[in-house]
A and B are shown apart, each in its own frame.
Chain A
Amino acid sequence: MRVLTGNDLKTGDVVWWTGETWSRHVDEAVDAGERAEEILAAEEAARRVNVPYVIEATREEDGSVRPAHIKDRIRALGPTVRPDLTLKPKDPEAIDWVI
């Protein structure tokens, strides 16, 4: 699937396009398909996201979304060396998902 991501303009947080808005949680990302570029342009112009781009990802059987590249998986979770600062500070296996 083609997933849209970028950073929040004000906070810099990593965000994902949910079909309606931008979420911090990659699992809420949707397939933007053919419309990816069009959505990016409109959202960026409306300042709802900063430096957005399209990535490849897959939806897993449990419904979660897995970006194809490790860099975007680290963006989705947080630094692997600071589990306490990731989006899943209580999940010791979260880091394994990145790698």
Chain B
Amino acid sequence: MYKYDNYDQQMVDARVEEFRDQARRRLEGKLTEDQFKPLRLMNGLYLQLHAYMLRVAIPYGTLNSEQMIALGDIADKYDRGYGHFTTRQNLQYNWIKLEDAADILADLAKVEMHAIQTSGNCIRNISSDHFAGAAHDELVDPRPYAELLRQWSSFHPEFTYLPRKFKIAVIAAEKDRAAMRLHDIGIQIVKNDAKDGGSEIGARFFVGGGMGRTPMVAPMIRDFVPLDQLITYAEACLRVYNRYGRRDNKYKARIKILVHELGKDEYTRQVEEEFAHLLKQGVEPPREELERIKPYFSDPAFEDGPKSVDRSDPDFAVWVDRNTHRHKHDSYVSAVISLKPVGGIPGDATGEQMRLMARLAKQYSFDELRIMHTQNVVLPHVKIGDLHALWTELEAAGLGSPNMDTIEDMIACPGLDYCSLANARSIPLAQRISERFDASGKTSKLGELKLKISGCINACGHHHAGHIGILGVDRKGVENYQLSLGGSEAEDVSLAKITGPGFTEDGVIEAVDTVTNVYLANKQGEERFLDTYRRIGMEPFKEALYG
């Protein structure tokens, strides 16, 4: 785990005191809402439907037990006993009082956490692979690079007022578990064949992806940037954007629009030009900085142990098959704690559950937890020999749903139940669909099926990238839902296509059932829903839906 250095801690502490003063001035009436709003947003404090909402950054989704306990305690002390894990690996509290906000930030700062740059047109939390440092298939741990980017992008004066918010993801495996190509910048750490016959590690850059009203998959603009030029190249990408990005029209202000309008080649040409210029200016942090960061992410002291589990308990065996991921050490796995109980609210966890997960992390996973963009929690390093004990505790706490990557493991944004921008509710759909598919026993037959639900076109619920996506729209004041099929945010990335006219709430749940029936009827061999859709196309689904 990365530890703050003095500079980090001083910056965060100073921000807390600065915000305390700003909030006090607002409460005393010395600041108007217009003056205060940008200040509170800089500290992750939004005003939502029922109260203020605070978004806490969890850099690249990694946290330790102490931090998770602090998050749980804040939920109990200042909120209504729970928090919501988001698709960008952050946490949101829904019921915050302005009077308490500075105290919460102070509590966060004590455990090296904050809410800085979780809002506004700046570089947001850097996201990464939730199995980083543990996965069997990664080249290196991507988090030191994510941390380097975090340091570079924190309080960067040039990038504090970008045309629009800016999101970066970093991965280091062929498998994309971070929706990397749907970010403004996606970075994949890769190995190339160096001239001397050896190999060298560097970064592949994808720029201009995103969701929202104009979803785009980021094209690759450079297949190899040497690691000691990583920050310089990222800076060049941002400089060109900062120079040309549209500030006059919020809907056209994202970098994806610039890359699209200039064309990938022209954008790349300008980036390369800027890059050449920047290389001479020495903007890259010294190599020692990366070397200083790396040990914080070194492997814990793994020990050899059992390499398989006793499968005599069928419920346990199902959970192991579904919710664990192969580790680079053969006596360990990464275990996924599902925050998707049947009929529950995707991504919500109570303070008590957070403290329990923290304790389990301490006991079974070298004190480490991860937040997944699919709104679940990972214990990255669990001994295979400890899995049964872990699962028993999770089951008892209602956290043992064996549903990772199934239709019940859907992403759902807060929607109209909490969000002031929403057109329609998302959570009730998630709840009803998981109840229905669980009751009919269809979930396991369907295998991997990624359902993603957003309550409006901002696409916080990633509906464009769902094998099945649902988007809430407002139809003359009544909630209505558009269905789309064929999206993916993994390495086989694609954008979903709308099936046709929208549905009512009941109608869209039927429609989801209908399209899964089309899949089951047409499935060949081991095909997933997405594979069948790609092979047979939209027509059979349309036919079944609209006849």
Contact = CB atoms under 8 A, between A and B. Distances in A.
Interface in A57-90: 68-71, 74-75, 78-82, 85
Interface in B407-423: 416-418, 420, 422
B197 interface: no
Interface stretch (B47-55, B228-236, B297-305): B47-55
B345 A81 contact: yes
Given A71-B416, A80-B428, A81-B428, A10 B27 contact: yes
B508 to A, nearest CB: 15
Contact of B427 (A11, A47, A81): A81
Interface string B93-134: 011111100000000000000000000000000000000000
B51 A7 contact: yes
B51 to A, nearest CB: 4
Interface in B390-432: 416-418, 420, 422, 425, 427-428, 431
Given A7-B47, A50-B47, A74 B479 contact: no
Interface string A34-60: 000000000010010011000000000
B474 to A, nearest CB: 9
B479 A70 contact: yes
Given A10-B98, A50-B33, A79-B417, A70 B477 contact: yes
Given A80-B428, A81-B345, A70 B47 contact: no
B80 interface: yes
Contacts of A71: 49, 416, 420, 422
A53 B419 CA distance: 17
Interface in B38-65: 47, 49-52
B29 interface: yes
Interface in A1-51: 7, 9-14, 44, 47, 50-51
A75 B48 CA distance: 10
Contacts of B418: 79
Max chain B C-beta neighbours (<10 A), residue from A10, A68, A78: A10
Contacts of B95: 12, 85
Contacts of A74: 49, 416-417, 425
A60 B49 CA distance: 24
Contacts of A14: 49-50
Nearest to B53: A12
B345 A12 contact: no
B50 A10 contact: no
Contact of A80 (B29, B98, B417): B417
Nearest to A13: B51
Interface footprint category on B: 20 to 34
A7 B37 CA distance: 14
Nearest to A44: B33
Given A10-B97, A12-B96, A51 B47 contact: yes
A85 B99 contact: no
A36 B241 CA distance: 44
Given A50-B33, A69-B477, A85-B80, A12 B51 contact: yes
Contacts of A82: 345, 417
A51 B51 CA distance: 12
A11 B97 contact: yes
A11 B98 contact: yes
Contacts of A47: 27, 29
Contacts of B420: 71
A12 B33 CA distance: 13
A79 to B, nearest CB: 4
A80 to B, nearest CB: 6
A74 to B, nearest CB: 6
Max chain A C-beta neighbours (<10 A), residue from B50, B80, B95, B478: B50
A70 B49 CA distance: 12
A79 B80 CA distance: 13
B264 to A, nearest CB: 39
A18 B98 CA distance: 23
Given A11-B97, A12-B47, A68-B477, A81 B27 contact: no
B97 A79 contact: no
B421 to A, nearest CB: 10
A10 B99 contact: yes
Contacts of A68: 477
A75 B49 contact: yes
A12 to B, nearest CB: 4
Given A80-B417, A81-B428, A75 B50 contact: yes
Contacts of B345: 81-82
Contacts of B29: 47
14 contacts: A10-B98, A10-B99, A11-B97, A12-B51, A47-B29, A71-B420, A71-B422, A75-B49, A75-B50, A79-B50, A80-B425, A81-B417, A81-B425, A81-B428
Given A14-B50, A51-B33, A70-B479, 10 more contacts: A9-B98, A10-B27, A10-B98, A12-B52, A13-B51, A44-B33, A70-B478, A74-B416, A81-B417, A81-B428
Sort A-B residue pairs by CB-CB distance and give the 10 closest, nearest first.
A12-B51, A79-B417, A12-B52, A81-B427, A11-B97, A47-B29, A10-B99, A81-B417, A75-B49, A10-B98
